Amino acid sequence: MTERKLRLGVAGLGRAFSLMLPTLVQDARIEIVAGADPRPEARDRFTQDFAGRAYERVADMCADPAIEAVYVSTPHQFHRENVEAAAAAAKHILCEKPMALSVDDCRSMIETARRARVALVVGHSHSFDAPVRRAREIVESGAVGDLRMMSALNYTDFIYRPRRPEELDTAQGGGVIFNQAPHQVDTLRFIGGGMVKSVRAATGVLDRARRTEGAYTAFLTFENGVGASLTYSGYAHFDSDELVDWINEGGLPKNPDNYGAARRALSQANEADELALKAASNYGGPRYGSDPRVSAKPAQRWHQNFGLLIASCEHADLRPTSKGVLIYGDQERRLEPVPVPPVPRMEVIDELYAAVTEGRAPVHDGAWGLATMEVCFAILQSAREGREIALSHQVPVPPLGTVEG
């Protein structure tokens, strides 16, 4: 039996939409019927690509009766407003990370969706990745003993990618704490059971010309006694893809000879030049790629990843990779392959589609998104105040099913 289409409207046709676009155009369960963006060039491109309706205002798009669900991929500071507009129009919601910029905003979004009786899924984050889920299943099964500690690190060129001014302003959701930490925090919470007790952290601004946090290191203590360290740097020096077989975050081969490309591209650019470069490369801009149905299908693709992650259990270390889960056991080291889904980020659509068509409770719901953001807010607070921060909005991972490890 052919699965019915989920009719989707897209709020925000920018960078997040561009990254999610291969998923949306390749997954047969999705039909993109409308989009909203203040940029006329983005709306023009959208109507050409999808023959859908394009709106300047998100609220107007949400009122479109053809839409069943809204993908909120606008800049971070608009997430609450856009989610609440979608819920008010009785649309189900997929909201990009970070969920919002405050605990109060997250709670309001959850309550608005609850009152409207619509599903709220928060993603994409790398905790959706199939190898991460498999690592959690192994931990949950007890096959390698209890989980004791976790370590995660990622070094990228994030800070030197072209940015709008607000993307370098922490108060408006700029910097790595809002943009990158949700990936690491979500993944560690997912494997570790979800319930973080406290956070101790330090952050860094290593380049004063890029005035937001570009690095952090944090230690999470879980209610079950697990400790987790996480480190991120976006300053385009060491590249941790070197540690994961030169497979980039999107699961594609990476050329290590391109070292320094991000810094070089911005080396002679002033703020206006950088803004123009960002706009030109964005959806609808003159440097944006070809038809997404063509460019979305590379010759070789693996699972997505977010740097190096090791989960240490009593009888094995587990390392999710782009090809599966490496299990370093008492007697042997082996790779447990995990099939790559036919569509990148298909796991996100699985969760949204099941929530809308079957009424199945999503794992990455609003409460989960709030719990992850609470950790991120605590990283900032701990660094500023120089103390450990206790948490109060955490939720556990629901049981995934016992499996053999």
To the nearest 10°, report the CA torsion of 270, 274, 276, 279.
-170
Are 152 and 264 contained in the same domain?
yes
CATH number where 279 lies = 3.30.360.10
Are 190 and 325 contained in the same domain?
yes
Are 265 and 353 contained in the same domain?
no
Q: Residue 196 is which amino acid?
A: V
Give the closest residue to 66 by CA, choosing from 6, 21, 117, 135: 6
> Residue 45 falls within a domain, yes or no?
yes
From the DSSP assignment, how many helices (H) and strands (E) are in the chain? 13, 15
Alpha helices (runs of H) in 142-216, residue ranges in sequence order: 176-179, 181-192
Are 254 and 144 contained in the same domain?
yes
Are 360 and 383 contained in the same domain?
no
Please report the pLDDT score of residue 291 as a whole number: 55
Are 273 and 314 contained in the same domain?
yes
Beta bridge pairs of residue 228: 150, 220
Are 166 and 307 contained in the same domain?
yes
Are 308 and 351 contained in the same domain?
no
Please report the pLDDT score of residue 292 as a whole number: 55
Question: How deeply is 263 buried, as exposed, middle or buried, from its count of CB atoms within 10 A (0-12, 13-18, 19+)?
Answer: middle
> Residue 369 falls within a domain, yes or no?
no
| pTM for the model | 0.95
Q: What is the pLDDT along the chain (405 residues), one digit of tens a residue?
A: 568 999 999 999 999 999 999 999 999 999 999 999 999 999 999 999 998 999 999 999 999 999 999 999 999 999 999 999 999 999 999 999 999 999 999 999 999 999 999 999 999 999 999 999 999 999 999 999 999 999 999 999 999 999 999 999 999 999 999 999 999 999 999 999 999 999 999 999 999 999 999 999 999 999 999 999 999 999 999 999 999 999 999 999 999 999 999 999 888 888 898 888 888 888 988 888 765 554 545 567 999 999 999 999 999 999 999 999 999 999 999 999 999 999 999 999 999 999 999 999 999 999 999 999 999 999 999 999 999 999 999 999 999 863 333
Domain count, the chain: 2
**Widest distance between CA atoms in the chain:** 61
142: domain range?
127-342+374-390
Are 160 and 19 contained in the same domain?
no
> Residue 247 falls within a domain, yes or no?
yes
Please report the pLDDT score of residue 403 as a whole number: 36
Cα–Cα dist 73/77, whole Å:
11
Please report the pLDDT score of residue 294 as a whole number: 43
Are 60 and 143 contained in the same domain?
no
Tokens of 89: 């129009």
Please report the pLDDT score of residue 268 as a whole number: 84
> Residue 397 falls within a domain, yes or no?
no
Please report the pLDDT score of residue 404 as a whole number: 36
> Residue 315 falls within a domain, yes or no?
yes
Phi-psi region of 142 (alpha: psi -120 to 50; beta: other; left: phi over 0): left
